[in-house]
Chains A and B, each alone.
Chain A
Amino acid sequence: MSKILELKNLSFVYGQGTPFEKCAVSNVDLSIEKGELIGIIGHTGSGKSTLVQLLNGLIRPTSGQVILDGEDIWKNPKEIRKIRFKVGMVFQYPEYQLFEETVYKDIAFGPANMGKSGNELHDAVIKAAEFTGLDREILSKSPFDLSGGEKRRAAIAGVMAMDPEVLVLDEPTAGLDPMGRDVLLSQIVQYHRKRKNTVLLVSHSMEDIARVADRIMVMNSSKLVMFDETKKIFSHSRELEKYGLRVPQITKIMLKLKEKGYDVSDGVLTVDSALSQIYSLLNREGKIW
């Protein structure tokens, strides 16, 4: 594996030199391998959104570096636009950013701006629509005639169509119902598996993050306080609570059981893995035949 993204001593201060000076990201150091699915968690105001805006050059670091594929993204500031094609950003509530006459045109906007045309452009649009599960007939509709969930998926398809090396999604499932959440999340996982691209997922839903992330970054008051494998992060339930976060309910249940002396592992992330652990405990004690 090779490093796709490296952050070196990265800091960002809003309103530097004014009375409203506020440090939103301070001294973040980390590296992300190509093809990883990274979860980013932290309470409101912890610096998550500022951090992701630094990744595609929407804001310029006060100090430190963002290194994409071995090169500082600000090496040549005039070329920063190219970085935005490499690091695709899906903002919160992206459905408010739809603007074209048809869904097809909206999805095509990004890749067309990258210089794609003809069949190449058409393929990019169709593939992105497939990844997000949008039917062909929807593509000719106005984006404003779609349901909320469809709009969300159309907006995400617009970013996927640029085939970015790194896809960043800021709370993609916020406001969706449990079914919509499930569907969208598995589509993102599918995209990640097929394209083998790097995906960064910001979310307040610990259950979502627990299900899909390889590693998790935890932000707290502008600092990166934890960065580790998903299981390890969620075995630190007390520490997470200190940061205003929590672990999924099932993880908490299994942690409490462990505290009471039962032989279960910490960092249990899904109901099914909890079930198999309980089952093997029962089996060992001969309670199930």
Chain B
Amino acid sequence: MNFISVQNIFFSYSNNEDGSLAKNAVNGVSLEIKKGEFIALLGHNGCGKSTIAKHLNAMLLPDSGKVYIDGDDTCDEEKTYDIRKKVGLVLQNPDNQLVASIVEEDVAFGPENLGVEPEKIRIRVDNALKAVDMYEYRKHAPFKLSGGQKQRVAIAGILAMQPECIVLDEPTAMLDPNGRNEVLSTLLKLNKQNGMTVVLITHYMDEAVLADRVVVMDKGKILTLGTPREVFSQVELLKKHRLDVPQATELAYKLKGCGLNIDKMPLNEEECVKMLEEVLK
């Protein structure tokens, strides 16, 4: 079985005040994620992305359907702790996730709560901070860090719990371009070098193109999924649902519409420049 297996889940947040049934936030989603994969999850606000993310570490349980993490059913209460050890969640606002007044204490919070021995916590904290390039800041106060640095500390806090998978809900939404780069390269490093499974929820298409697979959600369902090239080649479908495509892809799509022969849709700057050079040759 795959590391994450989401099987036809439905979920609605509790009923409306007037007693009527709230509409489903997730409406029959199935998704298989292999160990070591990097998945980007796209879609409008309210499409059910975050609800899916919260299902991946048993923060939410499906109304019907099943979620298995490494073979364990998230509905099995005895497994909840194991599942949360395996899947760590990072949220949008770094300020809401940091609890201690010193960076290294903040990172130690997770493993302390898991009951890890003090000497081992020390090692885990150091390693986690090194992994996100924040080791030199270990004695700093979190509130004095930049947004990108804070978000990396939040990621380190998750890493210190040694999860096998990290789920991030728009971790770069509040960051400037530099901060976004810092977080993204950290994630790529964890994925490529350490084999960490990564599920990244984002509104930024330039981040999504870095993933192994892209999943696009709409109205609680999966609209399409595949490699970034497969997904972003469907410019029409994405536009119809008012989702973005990278500007590089959009240009190629429009040139194609003018009757030019373009086989491989470019996803980034380099590919687009190469494509244009070939067209203009």
Q: Give chain A's interface residues, CB within 8 Å of chain B.
A: 43-45, 147-149, 174-180, 182, 204, 206-207, 244-246, 248-250, 252-253, 256-257, 260, 262, 271-272, 274-275, 278-279, 281-282, 285, 287-288
Contact = CB atoms under 8 A, between A and B. Distances in A.
Most chain A C-beta atoms within 10 Å of own C-beta, residue among B45, B173, B177, B178: B177
B247 interface: yes
Nearest to A48: B176
B71 interface: no
25 contacts: A44-B146, A44-B175, A147-B46, A148-B45, A174-B173, A174-B174, A175-B170, A176-B203, A177-B43, A177-B44, A179-B44, A180-B44, A246-B177, A249-B246, A249-B247, A252-B269, A253-B269, A253-B272, A253-B276, A257-B276, A260-B277, A262-B276, A271-B247, A275-B258, A282-B280
A274 B255 CA distance: 10
Interface of B: 43-46, 92, 146-148, 170, 173-179, 203, 206, 242-244, 246-248, 250-251, 254-255, 258-260, 268-269, 272-273, 276-277, 279-280
Tell me whether chain A's interface is mostly helix, strand or loop, or mixed.
Answer: helix
B279 A278 contact: yes
B179 A256 contact: no
A147 B45 CA distance: 10
Contacts of B178: 43-44, 244
A274 B251 contact: yes
Contacts of B259: 288
A204 B176 contact: yes
B251 A271 contact: yes
Contacts of B247: 207, 248-250, 253, 271
The 6 closest A-B pairs by CB, nearest first: A250-B247, A249-B247, A178-B244, A244-B178, A179-B242, A177-B45
A246 B43 CA distance: 25
B45 A180 contact: yes
Contact of A253 (B43, B146, B251, B255): B251
Contacts of B174: 174-175
A219 to B, nearest CB: 11
Contacts of A149: 45
B45 A176 contact: yes
Contacts of A182: 242
Nearest to A251: B247
Contacts of B45: 147-149, 176-177, 180
A218 B6 CA distance: 46
Contacts of A207: 247
Contacts of B258: 275, 279, 288
B236 to A, nearest CB: 15
Given A177-B45, A178-B243, A278-B255, A253 B248 contact: yes
A80 to B, nearest CB: 29
